[in-house]
Structure 1
Amino acid sequence: MAVFGLYQMILLICIILFVLLANLYLYHHFPKPKHPLQDISYDVAIVLGYPCNADGSLSTVQKKRMETAINLYHKHCVHHLLISGSCVQNTYVEAEMMAAYALTQKIPKQALVLETKARNTYENLKYAKCICDENQWENIIVITSPSHMRRAAFFVHKFFRNYVMDTYREHSSIRVRMDEYFRMWNTLYYERKLRKN
């Protein structure tokens, strides 16, 4: 019995070490992004899309991302809001619904730029980069959810050099955190696969 207990202890230690090393590896590839500086005015805030509710109303995530962007605009920290997102889970175009909300919060129409083709985080940033280049916007803030920050930063870094990221306070459920955790692994898997091809 004592030998069986020893094997269980060794197995448990090996599992803990594996999990720790795997997390170190993962967070090395998804470092914490830089946050905005108080005394700088940015050209644009890129607001990453998120699906609407089934009835077309804004989801909590959409509303919080937009409120973060709207707050920055009203504080004169950004000059434009670039809202990115197509219709992914239903027929409502994320960018259009989020922009409609911004208009109700006293954001002038000329300050809003919509990108309505993106169906995922990679595309959000790929298409946003084209719009930023067209407008010669170089200093950017990317706005997303706290649980999405690291993975979004992984993609932001592919398209932009001079960027910071902003978010809001959130108490994510274990399910949301685990979902994002596995999405980071999935991102790394496909990134490696693309490099081999």
Structure 2
Amino acid sequence: MTSNNKKIIYILSALLLIGIIFTASVLSTSATSTTTDINLTPGQNNEPTSYRIEDWKKIAMHYYWHGGDIKKAEEEIFKGVTLKGNYDVVAQAFKEAIHLDPFDTDLKISLASTQIIQKKIPDALHTYKQILNLDPNHFDANLLYGVYSKINDDEKTYQKSIAKLRTLDATKTNVYLKKFQTTEAIMKEKINTIAPSGLPQQKHAIVILGYALAEDGSMQPTLIERLKVGLSLAKKYPNSKIVVSGGVPKQGKTEASSMNDWLISQGIDKDRIVQENKSTDTVENALFSISKINELGIQDATIVTSASHIRRALTVFREASDFYDKLNQTNSKRTFTNVVYLDYPTVEEAQKVIKDEKLVIYRDLFRVSGIWQYPKLQR
């Protein structure tokens, strides 16, 4: 091989190596990017309508999950529309998408769901009514319109909605009416602030629900208080498995992994603890924890959370358990009990169910029953 040929081979090899390094760098950068890097500028009028609608959906979901600069959103995205919080941005983004496609009922459901989160019940009812004006036989819209009307003290509209639902699908309507009866019974259950006696000694789990970690990855006081309650229960029932549920990571730690470490530091055997580290909210706490409970062959469970959260938690865990029974053609006859961290001045006050709480309980019941609050976007 000549000297010139060798030089050419060396040069080509060097260029190939540089190319490999450059490609790896680009892939690494792409892999570490997050949804916070997305372009939050809505499409221009010279783009296809479908692109512009997708842009508004991305803006809505970004602010739902991550929040953002509200003033910047007012000035740059919505050109002066007054906004007071992240959910205002979500609602306004869906309104913009609906303006581009007024035929899309999924967009209207997403707007109504945001209005429910904002506790703007009359606005949500108006949006559901628009859906029903276009599609009178929309089962989910009739269901949501009726139940939220009842929560808003309009029993007459609720009864009309149930009558309509019976004509659309009597079997499905009766299934939901049974869910509502179960939910109403749960809202009357006694809240326990100390570990009760008489819980099962075998095939029993203590499920401790997570709470958002601080930005530095540390556990906030609410989560620590829940853990203290769970620890007292674990000591009283040493044969019970402990499921710690919560998946939103901060600084490389999930709620579940942080709870796991805390319990071990308090003397709990690591083999007793099962981490559920994929859930992002109460609905997913229930769905993913019940899945693990079934895998472990556990019959009954005691839910540990805050008093202000327990009725919602018991509702969605009951519904999730019923779903898995149906999926697997089983009849678990599972019993759920509770012990709470009291975040009210008194137990008597904690037992009261106000309208805002009932709204959230039913919202999450619908979500865990399979009705997505943001269709095709977010459960």
- Correspondence for 1:194 among 360, 368, 371: 371
Task: Pick 1 or 2: higher relative contact order, CA cutoff 8 A, min separation 6.
Answer: 1
User: 1:72, CA displacement in angstroms?
Assistant: 0.7
The size of the alignment, in residue pairs, is 173
**TM value normalised by structure 1:** 0.72
Map residues 56-135 of structure 1 onto 2, 5 A cutoff.
Answer: 56-76=217-237, 79-87=240-248, 92-135=253-296
Query: In the alignment, which residue of structure 1 is the partner of 2:104?
Result: none
C-alpha root-mean-square deviation of aligned residues, in Å? 3.4
One-letter amino acid matched to 1:170: D
Cα displacement string for residues 48-82 of structure 1 (whole angstroms, at most 9, x for unaligned residues): 11111122211111111111111111122651110
Q: Could you tell me how far apart the structure 1 residues matched to 2:239 and 2:340 are?
A: 14
Confirm or deny that 1:163 pairs with 2:324.
no
Choose between structure 1 and 2: higher helix proportion.
2
- Cα distance, 1:55–1:79 mapped onto 2, change above 3 Å: same
Cα displacement string for residues 113-160 of structure 1 (whole angstroms, at most 9, x for unaligned residues): 101111111111111111111111002111111001111111011133
- Correspondence for 1:183 among 337, 360, 377: 360
Choose between structure 1 and 2: higher strand proportion.
1
Contact 2:211/2:223, CA 8 A, preserved across alignment = yes
- Cα distance, 1:190–1:44 mapped onto 2, change above 3 Å: closer
Q: Could you tell me how far apart the structure 1 residues matched to 2:305 and 2:197 are?
A: 18
Query: In the alignment, which residue of structure 1 is the partner of 2:306?
Result: 145
Q: Could you tell me how far apart the structure 2 residues matched to 1:109 and 1:45 are?
A: 14
* Unmatched runs of 5 consecutive residues or more in structure 2: 1-149, 159-179, 322-333, 346-353
* Unmatched runs of 5 consecutive residues or more in structure 1: 1-17
Contact 2:314/2:336, CA 8 A, preserved across alignment = no
| Identity across the alignment (%) | 23
